[in-house]
Structure 1
Amino acid sequence: MYERQDSPAALPIYAQVSEVLIREIAAGRLADGQRLPPERQMAATHQVTVRTLRKSLKILEEKGLLERIQGSGNYVRSNPAAQSIYSMFRIELLAGGGLPTAKFLDITTCEKPSDLPEFGTSTRGTRMRRLRFLNKVPAAVEEIWLDADSGTVLAEQASDSLYRYYQVKLGFWISRAEDYVSIGQTPDWAPPEFGKTAGQATGFIERLSWEQKPHPVEYSRTWFDTDTARYVQRLK
């Protein structure tokens, strides 16, 4: 289920496990007050060591999503304020949750085309195209543009979580975003793995993202397979 840790794009295994659990709590698949299975059983389910699982559970505890009761077990606690690496990733499997991973198809620096909305301060940007998975199921294709004045994404360093890459490698973080959801058509560059042919109807999301500046620095468009996934925005 999890990406190998020796992959340059992958999160550490313990972080991948914690993300799965956080997204399942957010989706309601793990309910507030629910007692989790014994740690050895959970470790076997997630195909990790008990030590790795405990590191994952420690992250949940630090975020207020887990309460450890001595002699009783681990209990889920709802915390709408809890943030995770994929907090701003709004696509889930139809059943809820799903670990997001990505396969980069192309990364290039070029002039921004005229059909993009205004964002950033440069006429150039890094364009990233990738296939997005949820629990290794192809769910979406993305085209993401980062303004050149905010930095350049290097193919050999690109991560599953671009927002984490921005913070670690480029020194800024995305503080807010605006999504515009509608119906789109699969782009002609989408790989066969996506399962939708060029021009076929899909869910469509346009996003403008801001760092700590008055103008957006990133623009993205995502085409997602509505037979597999859905867009979710929870209001707490």
Structure 2
Amino acid sequence: MSEDTENAATTIDAASGALPTYLRIAEALTIDIGGGRLAPGEKLPPEREMARDKGVAVATLRKALKLLVERGLIERRQGSGNYVLGGATNIGTYALFRLELRGVGGGLPTARLLDIRKAKKPDDLPNIGRSFDVGIRMRRLRFLADIPVAVEEIWLDLRWHDDNGLNARTVSESLYRTYADRLGLHIREAEDVISAAPLPDWTPPELGLAPGSFAGFVERRAYDQHGMPCEASWTWFNPELAQYYSRVP
């Protein structure tokens, strides 16, 4: 891909962008509900048991569960426990269309931002807005349950960019949450095309596959809250470790 007119390149520290522990727990439970592994009406384990299994304080777990209540995904019944509601709202795109561990399912998705910069849009980039020839390009290494499984390149149309809202310090491993919190951008729809393609030359060694090796390939175009295309991404994943999962509510 063309590297012409690139500027504002930033190398990212490996620890940047990590979500707080309670948010990680909330995201993992949201994905389990969206993926059907936690069924509507199912009772969650006792809070102290869940906290022990996840290695966190009960207060941290309760903070995560409170977020799920606010999302309308669980119901807390006084004296009885926590029950899954399983509503389709507030589950999020990645809960319904995502990568998961092969043969196991699930796996908490996290990511390390490798690079973020303004760059000339490549010729093969789908339409994400034609007002600007330059977009915001991000490259990430993605993990499931702390296992490196994929690399991705994301392009965001410049009309949504704000240097103060989107930079190396503010982009979290939950990218769509960053969009919503920092830019007021809400991804409402996404289209995915699945195939195979060679890994890009910038693939880091942690993935365990050499650049040029064939891998699973997901091409995504996403739409904002106004129904306009705003983002496109290319994700290359190790098919021995991960598989693509989709679920229609």
* Alignment TM-score, normalising by the size of structure 1: 0.88
Cα–Cα, structure 1 residues 177 and 106, in superposed 2: closer, same or farther, change >3 Å? same
Among candidates 78, 81, 104, match of residue 73 of structure 1: 81
Q: Is the 8 A contact 1:140 1:224 kept in 2?
A: yes
Q: Is the 8 A contact 1:67 1:75 kept in 2?
A: yes
Confirm or deny that 1:14 pairs with 2:22: yes
1:165 partner letter: T
Root-mean-square deviation over aligned CA pairs: 2.1
Shift of 1:86: 4.2
Q: Is the 8 A contact 1:19 1:86 kept in 2?
A: no
1:79-103 deviations in Å (ceiling 9; x for gaps): 2334248446511222222211111
Unaligned runs of 5+ in 2: 1-14
Distance in 2, Cα, partners of 1:68 & 1:215? 37
1:18-66 deviations in Å (ceiling 9; x for gaps): 1111212233333333332221111111111101111112222333432
Confirm or deny that 1:33 pairs with 2:41: yes
Q: Is the 8 A contact 1:29 1:96 kept in 2?
A: no
Aligned residue runs from structure 1 range 158-173, under 5 A: 158-173=171-186
Confirm or deny that 1:115 pairs with 2:134: no
Confirm or deny that 1:90 pairs with 2:95: no
Q: Is the 8 A contact 2:73 2:87 kept in 1?
A: yes
Unaligned runs of 5+ in 1: 1-6
Among candidates 61, 64, 74, match of residue 56 of structure 1: 64
Per mean C-alpha deviation after superposition, the further-off stretch among 95-104 and 133-142 is 95-104
1:93-137 deviations in Å (ceiling 9; x for gaps): 222222111111111112112222232120001111110011111
Distance in 2, Cα, partners of 1:99 & 1:89? 14
SS at match of 1:45: helix
Distance in 2, Cα, partners of 1:214 & 1:27? 25
Distance in 2, Cα, partners of 1:66 & 1:87? 15
* Alignment TM-score, normalising by the size of structure 2: 0.83
| Higher RCO structure, 1 or 2 (CA under 8 Å, sep 6+) | 2
1:137-176 deviations in Å (ceiling 9; x for gaps): 1111000011222214312222112222222222322221
Distance in 2, Cα, partners of 1:46 & 1:214? 38
Distance in 2, Cα, partners of 1:227 & 1:184? 15
SS at match of 1:90: strand
Cα–Cα, structure 1 residues 114 and 57, in superposed 2: closer, same or farther, change >3 Å? same
Structure 1 residue runs of 4+, over 4 Å off? none
Cα–Cα, structure 1 residues 213 and 23, in superposed 2: closer, same or farther, change >3 Å? closer
Q: Is the 8 A contact 2:97 2:246 kept in 1?
A: no
Confirm or deny that 1:231 pairs with 2:244: yes
